A and B are shown apart, each in its own frame.
Chain A
């Protein structure tokens, strides 16, 4: 805990230094050192499995500066600090050309975002939790709108509305559980009756689900992620949406075994999000928008893990409980690392080629080999393929499903989870292969300004995260035990819990086999590639790509990202409305023909417009013209006075 506290103080001081002297070295180094300290502290706490609490009084009503570092928080903190380390290095290179004033603001909000997330994870008091939650959300809003472009503002507003809806649900959630205690520490929160308990679970799912981006609460994600600077997208997608997952798990630890509708709902929403997210990811031309949708898929997979965990909890099945939770947590880290990597790659590509439009990219591997190498590993990780960590996460989830098959009441769960995970993984492989191959392989599809690769700033952090992805996969057997201590801390105590350690040992033994095979495969794959390359070195001839006898081929005739995935998109017209414009060639001497399609979000573009009457209905609550600050202040004052009056009278 002392290391984590030192790192928080270091981050705060580093933020101040970066705001005052945005280009100086010491703020940067201090922030980096703090993230290393924080990572070490969190990892140490996770390894020991102990719970440390610190508490100071706070003058805010119901508030206390109550920090609690338990295995659940430590796991997410480790992920957060690892990502901060990489993103700070990347950010320094990425923001090199920003004017000083803007740079100060950017680093200030960046550190505020990091501190907000760290305190969200540590907070054991509802007020402190909400304040840091708000700090995190607002800092991210300012970072999204940093470029002050029109689309950036639109995205920022959508994000802000979603964040505030989330906070509103969470506020109601905490108020419901507060009872008569005058300090809203987590330990004091309890549901007064069964109905309130159900309501609390529902509110938590809405509030945290909005942050996590579970469908249909996902609309802010594909808007905000592409607009943020790339390393901020890394942090938002890698760590911030995981705060929703953390919150859902924390709710379960606060309130005890969830009701069964909640377990089924979260499993179902997870499965639907996985399929929905990856289908939309596959249809996007914008690299970062595609990655943002893929985050929805991965949050869905994690939610499925939480669903299996809850079902296991309700049915007192150790194996299902453990495998579901370990799958969700492991996949959170694995996705955080891999998606952090891919967003940085997208930023480097955009910086290098001047566009993020996949249909215009191509052939970048030759001018940026290091980034391409990192992207290749990231692609495997995101596709859930061995030897990367994504495969281990999905492996654990599938084990959970197969374990469920042995419970009579849950037999139907297994084939559905298997089919959903298999489909999502296959489509994720296609989506990320498309992103990798069409950006890095082939010929450039349009003339791009070339900057040359800067190894230090922009290429190193993705490589670092790629290494971390490999390490996570190979080190998975040793992570199961610490993760099972998370399960123990969540489940409280029950007579069936001692068996949990046995199950964890079993899972670790399976993962040892898997990690050994993955490691061997990785080494052999590298060896085989080099051997084949060497063998060909003396007897190879370069020639143009075989053009099937058509001599006029040019780079614009290559398959594009759109043409690559259009057959897939056409299969799901309900989930995936395509807007097509087709002007066919006409006449004996056709001159002009065009075909274009854009993809719509079934929820955002079909469902939401049906609610267009809602603002008018809700307008009856509006007492005056909107946008008048003095009126708003007056209403706030009147409202307060009214509440005071009620308080005095009762």
Chain B
């Protein structure tokens, strides 16, 4: 393990709050506004971290513990993902199954904290989030398993490092499907339009935001931090599995990785500016489509 393998993930975790800000800037630009600073989320986090927390009198230890566990599990999953086409700090055979498991823990902990407040709005958000997870979890599992089978490697780091430069020449169709499915998953898992609207202020239409209505102060800060990490995790997975850049020089890799993340954030921003949120009943069909894409790409992979 060299210095870079510690530095790169640390840098990504620290820089993660920039990504949601990029999305906001793009949305603002499309709407003809200037938008907040790229570092706004850092200021918000620092402010929230110092504030006091208002806890619902109904909530129990589940509320605080659920919030802490959700953030910790997201962080753990992020540590398993390689950064800039080099080995992650934690890498071992079949670690991508643990990534799926830890994201599942984070989701269950968030849902438990939401239901612990006894609020019917948060119950509604939790119910919808639970519904979506039925499709995103198997789809993520299939997508990662597909990469593993394609590369013949067992750990996420090895998979990313071993992708051949001419990856796309033989399996273009399958890879395009897979990348498309991963992008849909990124949108769905990070509560983005067209699945959820992080900007809305009507409780009935929100999903992720309505689940954290009762979080305040440091608790809200850890929720915001975790969701920034999760966006970084999915974007970095998408970038590194789509572009086989492992054999380039470290500097070029770092630059193209950062550019890749920005491009993903811009794409998310453009989707958010040009699409409306789907009707709730349509969402499962859309996610089922993504799941179907992963199965199809699995079957298309020639070997």
- Distance, CA A509 to CA B155, complexed state (A): 14
Dominant secondary structure at the B interface? helix
B63-84 contacts to A (CB < 8 Å)? 64-65, 67-69, 71-73, 76
Q: Mark B48-60, 1 if CB is under 8 A from A, else 0.
A: 0001111111111
Write the chain A residue with the least CB distance to B125. A559
How far, in Å, is A521 (CB) from chain B's closest CB? 6
Identify which of B100-108, B242-250, B263-271 touches chain A. B100-108
Identify which of B130-138, B188-196, B233-241 touches chain A. B130-138
Question: Does any Cβ of A come within 8 Å of B141's Cβ?
Answer: yes
Q: Mark A419-444, 1 if CB is under 8 A from B, else 0.
A: 11111011101100110111011110
Write the chain B residue with the least CB distance to A386. B101
Question: Does any Cβ of A come within 8 Å of B187's Cβ?
Answer: no
Given A385-B104, A386-B102, A558-B120 contact (CB < 8 Å): yes
Interface centre among B58, B76, B124, B280 (most CB of A within 10 A): B58
Question: Does any Cβ of B come within 8 Å of A98's Cβ?
Answer: no
- Distance, CA A544 to CA B142, complexed state (A): 43
Question: Does any Cβ of B come within 8 Å of A513's Cβ?
Answer: yes
Interface pair B115/A405, CB less than 8 Å apart: no
Question: Does any Cβ of A come within 8 Å of B257's Cβ?
Answer: no
Contacts of A642 in B (CB 8 A): none
Question: Does any Cβ of B come within 8 Å of A179's Cβ?
Answer: no
Q: In which size bucket is the chain A interface?
A: 35 or more
Given A442-B115, A536-B218, A567-B131, A385-B54 contact (CB < 8 Å): no
Contacts of B65 in A (CB 8 A): 525, 529, 532-533
Contacts of B280 in A (CB 8 A): 567
Interface pair B98/A563, CB less than 8 Å apart: no
Given A386-B105, A540-B53, A546-B56, A525-B69 contact (CB < 8 Å): yes
Interface pair B68/A406, CB less than 8 Å apart: no
Our pick among B112, B139, B299 for the contact of A436 (Cβ within 8 Å) is B112
Given A542-B55, A559-B127, A398-B60 contact (CB < 8 Å): no
Contacts of A548 in B (CB 8 A): 121, 203, 213
Question: Does any Cβ of B come within 8 Å of A553's Cβ?
Answer: yes
Question: Does any Cβ of B come within 8 Å of A326's Cβ?
Answer: no
Q: Mark A235-251, 1 if CB is under 8 A from B, else 0.
A: 00000000000000000
Our pick among A366, A419, A422, A525 for the contact of B60 (Cβ within 8 Å) is A366
Contacts of A402 in B (CB 8 A): 94, 145, 148-149
Question: Does any Cβ of A come within 8 Å of B45's Cβ?
Answer: no
Interface pair B62/A365, CB less than 8 Å apart: yes
Contacts of A539 in B (CB 8 A): 51-53, 217
- Distance, CA A192 to CA B170, complexed state (A): 52
Contacts of A525 in B (CB 8 A): 65, 68-69, 72-73
Interface pair B149/A565, CB less than 8 Å apart: no
Contacts of A438 in B (CB 8 A): 115
Question: Does any Cβ of A come within 8 Å of B30's Cβ?
Answer: no
How far, in Å, is B85 (CB) from chain A's closest CB? 22
Contacts of B124 in A (CB 8 A): 559
How far, in Å, is A279 (CB) from chain B's closest CB? 10
How far, in Å, is B143 (CB) from chain A's closest CB? 10
Interface pair A391/B101, CB less than 8 Å apart: yes
Our pick among B67, B111, B118 for the contact of A558 (Cβ within 8 Å) is B118
Interface pair A545/B214, CB less than 8 Å apart: yes
Interface pair A542/B57, CB less than 8 Å apart: yes
Contacts of A547 in B (CB 8 A): 119
Total residue contacts A-B, CB cutoff 8 A: 245
Question: Does any Cβ of A come within 8 Å of B128's Cβ?
Answer: yes
Write the chain A residue with the least CB distance to B127. A564
Q: In which size bucket is the chain B interface?
A: 35 or more
Interface pair A363/B118, CB less than 8 Å apart: yes
Question: Does any Cβ of B come within 8 Å of A175's Cβ?
Answer: no
Contacts of B52 in A (CB 8 A): 539-541
Question: Does any Cβ of A come within 8 Å of B157's Cβ?
Answer: no
Interface pair B126/A564, CB less than 8 Å apart: yes
- Distance, CA A522 to CA B255, complexed state (A): 36
How far, in Å, is A427 (CB) from chain B's closest CB? 6
Given A418-B141, A442-B118, A529-B64, A544-B111 contact (CB < 8 Å): no
Write the chain B residue with the least CB distance to A445. B118
Write the chain A residue with the least CB distance to B80. A517
Our pick among B51, B59, B116, B142 for the contact of A418 (Cβ within 8 Å) is B142
Interface pair A395/B118, CB less than 8 Å apart: no
Contacts of B58 in A (CB 8 A): 363, 442-443, 544-545
Given A380-B108, A398-B141, A555-B127 contact (CB < 8 Å): no
Question: Does any Cβ of A come within 8 Å of B97's Cβ?
Answer: yes
Contacts of B104 in A (CB 8 A): 383-385, 425-426, 429
Write the chain A residue with the least CB distance to B57. A542
Interface pair A441/B134, CB less than 8 Å apart: no
- Sample of 19 A–B contacts (CB below 8 Å): A405-B145, A418-B142, A419-B141, A422-B142, A429-B104, A437-B112, A517-B76, A517-B98, A521-B72, A524-B76, A529-B69, A544-B57, A545-B57, A545-B119, A546-B117, A546-B214, A558-B118, A559-B126, A571-B284
Contacts A383-B108, A433-B112 supplied; 19 other A-B pairs, CB < 8 Å: A385-B105, A402-B145, A422-B140, A426-B138, A429-B107, A430-B134, A433-B115, A437-B62, A437-B111, A441-B115, A441-B116, A442-B58, A517-B90, A536-B53, A543-B54, A543-B57, A545-B59, A545-B214, A567-B127
